[in-house]
Chain A
């Protein structure tokens, strides 16, 4: 019998199993649900962003009306919205987009007290996480591989066909190899179909990210295929294989990531967040009780152009008030830098460890692809800091000239936008250890198969 006929028959055999049809249907259904869930989460965020952007003009108009008497007062109340627009792939892997705020309104006051609010989310929703397409690929597709392949050899042994096969003049190892590949191809096809469907349904663009997503899914599923092949290559019973593989699945998808989380949060405690809070609060509030000249001297170091504007020592002035606010940020600057650094260290630590955990590595890679990971959020925060400085510097000249509200050019007030879609660099590849694991497992499985089929 030549390979071509064999493949034809085997494919027919595989597709005629009712369990296969049911499993594929179930997974397709899960994929469709995941897409609609991801889409609804991201669509909701987009509509909120649009709503707020539309309300900005109205907010300005209202404040201009209410506080027309005093520019300093007006700037105190005026909010400037900053948005983190989702990338085109955001609905594919929601990642940390449900925890981190995607819209922060800032005022001209101390910034560090304004940007760490999180979204108002149901803690139980956060606990379970999102059922998005990346979840289907990372959590559910391995189960499909296990279901298809765990009894590939053992079922034949248990049915008594194995000995019949052994008496044939064909290479059994080769046959097993082909049978595994057919099943792998089926799962891979499903994964690729889901990723492609996300392109049509979620609007994930067909650019280089599409190929990155395919490659990540391929490496991940290849790992599970070789792991399954390795387990069944010992020729144990179907029950043994199924239990071993399910154990590996639970360990890799649930236990190991939870353990790693525990290790990372113990190894890198983020005490800096508290320090930032204290520093920025004290940095600003203590200035009320200090000589105004002291605050202003530090302010002039940064903005010498306002040196000649008189600041009365025994009366309130807006120049001094906003200078105090900026000093709050300046006093917290070291703590802020350390805090951001610690968060990045945590992220790098997680990514390094995750290189050896195919499940976590794949999930993180998808989150990165969608730009819904921690570094993307930190970049957004950086852009908010830069924007806040721009707003302050836009209004300082008016403040120090004691300008009237109507003297200000309200048309050119800086606007903020951070678009996840424009962050097009630094896309992730599957980690090298995944390929190495897959390679080693494949070699070991092949050796085992050749040994007990000869």
Chain B
């Protein structure tokens, strides 16, 4: 029954495959501004705007490295697109799971399983939590690199310049923030309801069963 329910959920709310997902990102990127495309209108406008702001004729005359600056803007756009689509995908997964979660009202096995997975931090919400924290970590790291590129690297001969070892050591390591038990359990209302219901039902059954049939 659990397997069938989960499969039905996946059938009712189909999701995109990885290659379709990549295609969605690619299409949105082409629409929203692709920094890798030399003739992209959005980045052409950004260039004109920046040049006007600093009153210079060429990006080489800017007080910072324009290459890094563009990458920072591009990262902002592409990460926003990724977060949007990935959020939609995870929401879709959540809807798939809801079918089996609702079935857990009828099936105490599923309820106990979801309940114990939530308490041990191995349930779906722990998974999404980790995914978002990893993405946040990646985004901050990349933007820090772009910041270094913009402010510490000169445009000329950029491929031969190096950044000191000390700067790299300052980069923080990834640390996973675990959800508290209450945060995890809040996601499991159907499971908890079901466990309580079955517990009461079992008590009632024991209480109301006529004594003589027990022997």
Contact = CB atoms under 8 A, between A and B. Distances in A.
Interface of A: 30, 33, 37, 40, 44-45, 48, 51-52, 55, 66, 77, 81, 101, 103, 105, 117, 119-120, 122-125, 127-131, 135, 316
25 contacts: A33-B4, A40-B11, A44-B14, A44-B17, A45-B17, A48-B19, A48-B20, A66-B37, A81-B19, A101-B18, A103-B17, A103-B18, A120-B18, A122-B10, A122-B93, A122-B97, A127-B6, A128-B2, A128-B3, A128-B6, A128-B7, A129-B3, A130-B3, A130-B7, A316-B159
Contact of A125 (B18, B89, B96): B96
A131 B4 contact: yes
Interface of B: 2-4, 6-7, 9-11, 14-23, 36-37, 89, 93, 96-97, 100, 124, 127, 159
Given A48-B19, A123-B127, A37 B97 contact: no
Given A37-B11, A44-B17, A122-B93, 17 more contacts: A48-B19, A51-B20, A103-B19, A117-B18, A119-B18, A120-B21, A122-B15, A122-B96, A123-B124, A123-B127, A124-B96, A125-B9, A125-B10, A128-B100, A131-B4, A131-B7, A135-B3
A124 B124 contact: yes
Nearest to B20: A48
Contacts of B10: 122, 125
A130 B6 CA distance: 9
Most A CB atoms within 10 A — which of B10, B23, B96? B10
A380 to B, nearest CB: 15
Contact of B97 (A44, A45, A48, A124): A124
Most B CB atoms within 10 A — which of A105, A123, A130? A123
B163 to A, nearest CB: 13
Contacts of A37: 7, 11
Contacts of A316: 159
Contacts, number: 66
A98 to B, nearest CB: 10
Contacts of A122: 10, 15, 93, 96-97
Nearest to A120: B18
A125 B17 CA distance: 14
B35 to A, nearest CB: 12
Contacts of B11: 37, 40
Nearest to A77: B36
Nearest to A51: B20
Nearest to B14: A44
A40 B14 CA distance: 10
B96 A120 contact: no
Most B CB atoms within 10 A — which of A66, A101, A117, A120? A120
A52 B97 contact: no
A132 B164 CA distance: 57
Contacts of A129: 3
A174 B156 CA distance: 95
Contacts of B14: 44
B6 A124 contact: yes
A51 B96 CA distance: 24
B7 A105 contact: no
Contact of A55 (B3, B9, B23, B36): B23
B89 A120 contact: yes
A119 B96 contact: no
Contact of A124 (B16, B18, B20, B100): B100
Nearest to A139: B3
A238 B11 CA distance: 39
B70 to A, nearest CB: 16
Nearest to B96: A122
Contacts of B7: 37, 125, 128, 130-131
Determine chain B's interface SS by DSSP, over half rule.
helix
A96 to B, nearest CB: 16
B28 to A, nearest CB: 15
Given A128-B7, A130-B7, A119 B17 contact: yes
B191 to A, nearest CB: 13
Contacts of B15: 120, 122
A67 B19 CA distance: 22
Contacts of A120: 15-18, 21, 89
B213 to A, nearest CB: 16
A52 B19 contact: yes
A103 B2 CA distance: 29
Nearest to B17: A48
Contacts of B3: 128-131, 135
Most A CB atoms within 10 A — which of B4, B19, B22, B97? B19
Nearest to B15: A122
Contacts of A77: 36
A122 B23 CA distance: 19
A441 B55 CA distance: 92
A351 B77 CA distance: 48
The 9 A-B pairs with the shortest beta carbon distances in the complex, nearest first, are A122-B93, A128-B6, A131-B7, A128-B3, A120-B18, A48-B17, A124-B97, A131-B3, A131-B4
A45 B16 CA distance: 10
Contacts of B93: 122-124
A131 B17 CA distance: 20
A127 B20 CA distance: 23
Nearest to A135: B3
Contacts of B23: 55
Contacts of A124: 6, 93, 96-97, 100, 124
B164 to A, nearest CB: 14
Contacts of A131: 3-4, 7
A130 B14 CA distance: 15
Contacts of B9: 125
Given A37-B11, A40-B11, A120-B89, A125 B6 contact: yes
A50 to B, nearest CB: 11
Contacts of A81: 19
A48 B127 CA distance: 26
A311 B2 CA distance: 62
Most B CB atoms within 10 A — which of A30, A101, A122, A131? A122
A117 B22 CA distance: 13
